[in-house]
Structure 1
Amino acid sequence: MDRISFSIVVATKSRVRLLTELIESIDVARKNYSGDCEVLIVDDSIPEESEAVQAVCREHDCKYIFYENSVSAKRNYGVLQAKNDVVLFLDSDCICTEHIIERYAEKYTDEKIAAVAGPLEFVGEDTWFWKAIEATPFLTCFYLPRFLPKVEWGVTANFSVRRQVFLEVEGFDETFKRPAGEDVDLGMKICEKGYEINAAAEALVYHSKKTWIPVKAMFRRLNFYGTADCDLIHKHPDRGDVVLPKRSMLYIIYALFLVLAAIASGKWWVLAGIPLVFLVENIVMSHLVNRLSREKKATLCQQFVAQMLIHDSDFAYLKRCAVTGQFSDIRKQMIYYMGQYNGMLEIGSYNTWLQLLLLMGIAALIVFLL
């Protein structure tokens, strides 16, 4: 029986050192696989860094492609240049394990299996801010292929797909200009065609924490995630569900009530209640989440930062809904996997009481002023 042939596609920019580490790990994996495996590096770095990337590609038998475009477009172009049966997407801030190609090949046992997703494990220094990131729900999807036999989509930092199927579903949607949402959309398009996406728990990739822990970059990343949520619900309306009101939406409503109360009463000190409500709500929610957590707990301050990250994503979602006129989607939540309901409902019951108390307090203040 002929071995499945692989084309590894890496879209990159300005990450020479990290990319070199990835390519060196790919080298080991290629040597441990008896089938054909090519590597395509799609890059749009500045000239000095581009020359360094080309030198690394020559040294390790990788095909260098210069293509200046979005991440989605670069990956699509890489697939068009690929020649083999299965395309494996890896990110330039990752390192793959030595038998990853073999582990992926073992999963393609049936033509109905169109794609296989592997898990990621974040490695590097556990900084104070990283502990806050871990307290958010945003890392869960990176670990799912380790625990589930099948998934509905996979993170593109470690995801393989039959090239023919990828082209059949028209690849990544390039309207996702920012690096968020296009991998979810790809998986859903594959499943909508009746194909399956298996998980390969041992096809592990190590993801560097360094590209996540800069505070500004992380808030920017979650802003992208929130925007992508809105676009995904618009494109896949069956994945948007009305579960619980977004806390950020409720906060906006509270702020409007306080502004109106200040205008009506002429007592502008009431506006001080806007940041106060936000502060109190997040401190109480941080305490509740820490108490309910079954895993390693963050400190109250770290949990507070985690709540800020969640608000950042939610505010971006609300802004995108308003800008695109998707007002009916403001009350919806993007459902990425079925187990997501459990955590949402567990926290939601406590959150409902908290929001009710805040609403009663604001109502009492307005009655007192007027």
Structure 2
Amino acid sequence: MIVSIVIPVYNGGESFQKCLSSLKQFIPPEMEVVVVVDGGTDGSERLARSFGAKVATFETAGGPARARNRGAQVATGDVLLFLDADVTIHADTLPQVLKIFEDRSDVTALIGSYDDAPGAPNFLSQYKNLFHHYTHQNGAPEASTFWGACGAIRREVFLELGGFDENYRYPSVEDIDLGYRLKKAGYRIELCKTILVKHLKCWQPINLLRAEFFYRALPWTELIWRDRQFVNDLNLKISSRISIIFAYCLLLALVTAFVWIQAVAIAMVFGLALLSINWPVYQFFYQQRGWWFACGTVFWHWLYFLYGGLAFAIGTIRYHLFSRHAPFKPKLLEILESSSTNADKM
């Protein structure tokens, strides 16, 4: 069983260097690493070559979906392990991936998890990455989506399904879309909670809200409606859906309190309900970073429910009014079919 590691990068900077350093430390020298430089101006191509990686390049950025597809075409391994350019692996990351694919013929793809020690020290990065870790650690072992930051898939199946949807021009839900298509085709995706990577990204309020709302929540809503994937798992658990309703009831009660003071009591009821239903999350934050940190996460967690609910409402309207179209056919699949047709004519 041969694994090829595929990494898309756009101006990866110091995080990309740490990513490559971790690979050099923990994988065999003969392991194939394919880096796809998706435009950029910071010398990521030169850095990748200096680490011995096989490099493909695009002059202008087209998004990680296109870059990963290109990497899959270049790679020669039986299994493709996709990593983001801002993660580092652990000593046992690759051995665990290999063992699962060698021992489990029923597993077509697997995803891992961020570890509980995020690289960036600021509060928002710690909160967001720890929350992601908590979500995956409490997810169902049989996953319903794929994950591009640390996800592996049998190469022949990846090519069969046409790879990632290149219509996503930014880091978005191209991995979730692939996961839905895998499940629809009857393939199994395993969530392996012990396969960990460290996320180095530094989140700030603006880039977090932009990514969460425009690049994740909105397109994910349209995917949910397209494939009718209302699963009770990860970010779509029933407790999260109920929390969205409670969060908007709390907000409405607080606004109403300006003209009707008794609404404060109603707001307190919904606030306590939100605390109660999400108590395991806050308990996790307390165990990881203490009470002050846990208290600080409450605002961002409740804000997450508010913008997630807003995105679902807008995305639902957009889908039903504008986004219904013919079944999606991935560009990589068109390229492969075209190559096959041309070969038959020769």
Q: TM-score, normalised by structure 2?
A: 0.72
Aligned with 1:234 (options 204, 225, 240): 225
Task: Give the distance between the partners of 1:277 and 1:225, measured in 2 at CA.
Answer: 34
Q: 1:154-193, CA deviations, whole angstroms, 9 ceiling, x for partnerless residues?
A: 4211111111000111111233344232222222322322
Deviation at 1:42, TM superposition (A): 1.2
Q: In the alignment, is the contact (CA less than 8 A) between 1:114 and 1:162 conserved in 2?
A: yes
Report sequence identity in percent.
Answer: 19
Equivalent position of 1:357 in the other structure: none
Q: In the alignment, is the contact (CA less than 8 A) between 1:290 and 1:303 conserved in 2?
A: no
Instruction: Give 1:11-90 correspondences, 5 Å limit.
Output: 11-31=8-28, 37-47=31-41, 49=42, 52-67=43-58, 68-90=61-83
Deviation at 1:11, TM superposition (A): 0.9
Aligned with 2:158 (options 166, 187, 195): 166
What secondary structure is seen at the aligned counterpart in 1 of 2:221? Answer: helix
What secondary structure is seen at the aligned counterpart in 2 of 1:323? Answer: helix
Deviation at 1:15, TM superposition (A): 1.6
Equivalent position of 1:295 in the other structure: 284
Q: In the alignment, is the contact (CA less than 8 A) between 1:90 and 1:157 conserved in 2?
A: yes
Change (3 A) 1:314 1:326: farther
Kindly provide the amino acid, as one letter, of the partner of residue 106 in structure 2: K
Deviation at 1:143, TM superposition (A): 3.3
Q: In the alignment, is the contact (CA less than 8 A) between 1:226 and 1:315 conserved in 2?
A: no
Q: Gaps (5+ residues) in structure 2?
A: 287-292, 323-346
RMSD: 3.7
Task: Give the distance between the partners of 1:130 and 1:278, measured in 2 at CA.
Answer: 33
Equivalent position of 2:2 in the other structure: 5
Q: 1:105-145, CA deviations, whole angstroms, 9 ceiling, x for partnerless residues?
A: 11113443212222221423554334654786x5444435x
Deviation at 1:85, TM superposition (A): 1.1
Change (3 A) 1:284 1:126: farther
Q: In the alignment, is the contact (CA less than 8 A) between 2:118 and 2:125 conserved in 1?
A: no
What secondary structure is seen at the aligned counterpart in 2 of 1:116? Answer: strand
Equivalent position of 2:172 in the other structure: 180
Would you say 1:206 and 2:198 are equivalent positions?
A: yes
Q: In the alignment, is the contact (CA less than 8 A) between 1:286 and 1:304 conserved in 2?
A: no
Q: In the alignment, is the contact (CA less than 8 A) between 1:107 and 1:200 conserved in 2?
A: no
Q: 1:94-114, CA deviations, whole angstroms, 9 ceiling, x for partnerless residues?
A: 111234322211111344321
Q: 1:60-86, CA deviations, whole angstroms, 9 ceiling, x for partnerless residues?
A: 111222223122121112112222211
Change (3 A) 1:134 1:163: closer
Instruction: Give 1:324-335 correspondences, 5 Å limit.
Output: 324-325=319-320
Q: In the alignment, is the contact (CA less than 8 A) between 2:107 and 2:187 conserved in 1?
A: yes
What secondary structure is seen at the aligned counterpart in 2 of 1:198? Answer: strand
Q: In the alignment, is the contact (CA less than 8 A) between 2:114 and 2:129 conserved in 1?
A: no
Deviation at 1:318, TM superposition (A): 1.4
What secondary structure is seen at the aligned counterpart in 2 of 1:118? Answer: strand
Task: Give the distance between the partners of 2:118 and 2:226, measured in 1 at CA.
Answer: 34
* Number of residue-to-residue matches in the alignment: 300
Q: In the alignment, is the contact (CA less than 8 A) between 2:250 and 2:271 conserved in 1?
A: no
- The farther-off stretch of 171-180 and 17-26 is 171-180
Change (3 A) 1:238 1:290: closer
Would you say 1:247 and 2:245 are equivalent positions?
A: yes
Kindly provide the amino acid, as one letter, of the partner of residue 59 in structure 1: S
Would you say 1:194 and 2:192 are equivalent positions?
A: no
Q: In the alignment, is the contact (CA less than 8 A) between 1:87 and 1:160 conserved in 2?
A: yes
Task: Give the distance between the partners of 2:14 and 2:126, measured in 1 at CA.
Answer: 25
Deviation at 1:237, TM superposition (A): 0.6
What secondary structure is seen at the aligned counterpart in 1 of 2:298? Answer: helix
What secondary structure is seen at the aligned counterpart in 2 of 1:187? Answer: helix
What secondary structure is seen at the aligned counterpart in 2 of 1:295? Answer: helix
Equivalent position of 1:308 in the other structure: 303
Q: 1:298-321, CA deviations, whole angstroms, 9 ceiling, x for partnerless residues?
A: 554530232112212221221222
Equivalent position of 1:318 in the other structure: 313
Equivalent position of 1:349 in the other structure: none
Deviation at 1:22, TM superposition (A): 0.8
Equivalent position of 1:96 in the other structure: 89
Instruction: Give 1:92-131 correspondences, 5 Å limit.
Output: 92-108=85-101, 109-121=103-115, 122-124=117-119, 126-130=121-125
